[in-house]
Amino acid sequence: MTESQSPKTTPEGRLEAHLSVHFDFYKDQMQALRDIIAATAPYASALDEPTAKFAEFFSIIPQIPAPRLPEIRELISRLGTGGLSFRQFAKEVLENYNRERWSLALIAKFHESVTRQPRLPMLRNALLTAAVGSLEASIATVVTEFYHCRPEALEMNSKDRDKEFSLKDLAQFSTVQDAIDSSISKRVESLMFGGLGDWRKFFVDAMKIDLATLAVNWPALQEVFQRRHVIVHNGGRASRRYIAQMKSLDPGESITEGAVLDCSQEYLEYAIDQLLVAGVLLISAVIVKFSSNSIVTAYLNPLAYSLLREGRWETVKRLCQYGMEMSVDQDSILIFKVNMALAIKAMDGLDGIADEISSWDVSALSDRFKLAKACLMGDLDEAFRLLTLLTDRDELSTEDLVEWPLLSEVRNDRRFTAIISPRLAGPDGLKLLGPEFVILNPRSGTVHKQDCRFAKSGELVSSEAPEVQAARHCKECWK
């Protein structure tokens, strides 16, 4: 780097700056998809309810003359309970009411209703397709930035060296940089015509980065891509290619050709997490390859923490594993360690972390990490001792006390009230707690919501505390 060059004007600086922005962009895309699922799934589900599904069919009923209605209702009832097939229903209607205008419309509308495609699976399939497309676009962005950083890589194999410009091609470019940009565009486009295996090979060959080791579960990520392919090209039904791919991943897999591959809410959210981790860790790995680790830590730690608060344990575990493997500062490694332990404990219980955390020497560390060990091990007496020290020294914010997943067990203990109450004086402070905390009046044994006008005294306790479940609920605020 010359004296006139700032870090961001070097090839490495450009890559770091652009991919850092893209990290946030990609993360936000995945979160947007989860938001769309949460917001639209109830509406799509409502469209699949019988009242919506058979709305057109029942709209014909008012056209039926009153004397005919009892007979038609009896036929519809038998049809609905399985006592009559659709063919038999149609035959009965046509034979007995063939001269009446509404008869054919009734049969046609019923047929349309029963063959109507469910809306919710269509929505989920579309969102899965969008999520996979987002990772594909992200990979293209990463490859583009790599080539801009290392344009010499455009000729890294014999196949690429054959892609030279003709004199006619060169005449179209104003500068050498225009020619380089065009070459990069062609290389990226050619690469993206391949599949997940091709992209994995590219990153291994070009940067010694293995996409398979970055994923939460490489076979699961492959399955997500194969399922997207089936949705787009085979109507969501298992194809021979899909079956062959699944058997290569798991020889014991048994799938029938033509079987509908259900994209449930659980599957869709799991797939988005698989895609999120693969994308953000690929971006991170490329930044680390050409720049410093510190900027990656600044992005990964907040992301892991936000996912921890959402209970996405496998995702948190993999992000923290990667974070701990980087040569970053000690505090960052310890934060990754604590968050990963929280995720493992949530999945496997205390047994999943007991051996490692019990032997963790925190004697030379700050009280914050000593608190982390106490909370992880379920030592609430020690946790409250340290919590009191940290709050007295104002080293924990009110948001920490209310939101930090590490303190979830602490918040269920009655002793927590004495610590949090001074921070929440006045109505504005109470709002910080959110709906998971309620006010328990020990004298009357009544539970109130925080904004209840009758909650004049009492203790702040978790809404999940056993005494809350057994207490009487205020009729005014719980009605």
Looking at the fold, whether 39 and 63 belong to one and the same domain comes out as no
- State whether the Cα torsion 163-169-171-173 is positive or negative: negative
pLDDT at residue number 430: 44
Confidence grade of residue 426 (pLDDT, cut at 50, 70, 90): very low
The CA distance from 372 to 387, in Å, is 10
pLDDT > 70: percent of the chain: 85
The answer to whether 245 and 226 have CB atoms below 8 angstroms apart is: yes
List all residues 6 or more positions away from 459 whose beta carbon is below 8 Å from its beta carbon.
Answer: 414, 417, 439, 440, 442
Lowest mean pLDDT among 103-117, 194-208, 267-281: 103-117
Quote the domain boundaries for residue 244. 7-44+120-289
Lowest mean pLDDT among 153-157, 183-187, 425-429: 425-429
Residue 426 is assigned to a structural domain of this protein: no
Looking at the fold, whether 200 and 265 belong to one and the same domain comes out as yes
Looking at the fold, whether 274 and 125 belong to one and the same domain comes out as yes
Kindly report, residue by residue over 374-412, the tens digit of the pLDDT.
999 999 999 999 999 999 999 988 888 888 999 999 988
Report the number of distinct structural domains present in the chain: 3
Helix, strand, coil % in the chain, rounded to nearest 5: 70, 5, 25
pTM for this model (two decimals):
0.80
Looking at the fold, whether 164 and 242 belong to one and the same domain comes out as yes
pLDDT at residue number 199: 96
Residue 258 is assigned to a structural domain of this protein: yes
Q: Identify which has the larger pLDDT, 105 or 273.
A: 273
Looking at the fold, whether 187 and 249 belong to one and the same domain comes out as yes
Looking at the fold, whether 101 and 124 belong to one and the same domain comes out as no
pLDDT at residue number 2: 42
The SS3 call for residue 447 is: strand
How confident is the model over 348-361, as a mean pLDDT?
Answer: 95
Confidence grade of residue 330 (pLDDT, cut at 50, 70, 90): confident
Task: Match 């609430």 to its residue by tokens.
Answer: 380
Tokens of 101: 């205008």
DSSP letter (8 states) at residue 307: H
The CA distance from 131 to 349, in Å, is 31
Residue 395 is assigned to a structural domain of this protein: no
